[in-house]
Amino acid sequence: MTDKTFSVAPVTFGGLDKPFSTTDKTFSMTDKPLSGAEKTFSVIDKPLSVANKPFSVTEKTFFATDKNNKRDALIGLLRQLAGYVQQNCKNDLATLLSSGFEAVSTSHAQTALAVPSIVSVDNGNSGQLLVKVKPVANAKCYEVRYAAVPAGQAPGAWQSGSLFTNSRSMPLNGLTPGTNYTIEARAVGGSTSYSDWSAPTSHMSL
């Protein structure tokens, strides 16, 4: 078979420094195996420069936009499917769950916070008491109040000891040393805002 030489039209890829050379554009087709020189193409020897550089801002924006569009389309389809399941499950929980969707409670009934219990009251600095309560589920913080109990007299007016997020150490400051105080605490948060006050505890400030 007579050697044939095929000429490939010059092609320039974006990012290449130059089009293929004459050597790159020709190769031989013969009845014998190609020689080493004939089997080597410079386009294989040097990778495209576009692979050697990061995506441009425009390319990144394109991919991000495409991804967001696909996500929005998927969310839309899932919402349509959820609506179909809800309409056809006939308010049967087992049927709804068998679809693969999770059930969401639509109940808006208020749930009262549990009443905290005072675990301990300890003396801190002079004129300071440290109150510790058992944590309450769903409580955002705790309110403590106290009233002085003079010897042989009824308790005085309640005074607020402020709000505390740390249930393990709630300091009451500015107390009178040698005076007994009755102390109560309640949880704050949840759908009902406040729990009931705890059972009172008495302790003397030193």
The string of pLDDT tens digits covering residues 84-101 is 887 888 777 777 778 887
Enclosing domain of residue 80: 57-98
Q: pLDDT (tens digit, 9 = 90+) per residue, 98-130?
A: 888 777 655 555 678 899 999 999 999 999 999
Q: Say whether both 26 and 46 belong to one domain.
A: yes
pLDDT value of position 37: 47
Q: In which band, very low, low, confident or very high, does the pLDDT at 143 lie, cut at 50, 70 and 90?
A: very high
Q: Say whether both 36 and 67 belong to one domain.
A: no
Q: Say whether both 197 and 127 belong to one domain.
A: yes
The dihedrals phi and psi of 93, each to the nearest 5 degrees, come to -60, -40
Q: Is 182 within 8 Å of 198 (Cβ atoms)?
A: no
| DSSP letters for 120-143 | EEEE-STT-EEEEE---TT--EEE
Q: Say whether both 46 and 84 belong to one domain.
A: no
Q: pLDDT (tens digit, 9 = 90+) per residue, 6-51?
A: 333 444 444 444 454 444 444 444 445 545 544 444 444 444 444 5
* Whole-angstrom distance, CA of residue 136 vs CA of residue 195: 10
Structural domain total, the chain:
3
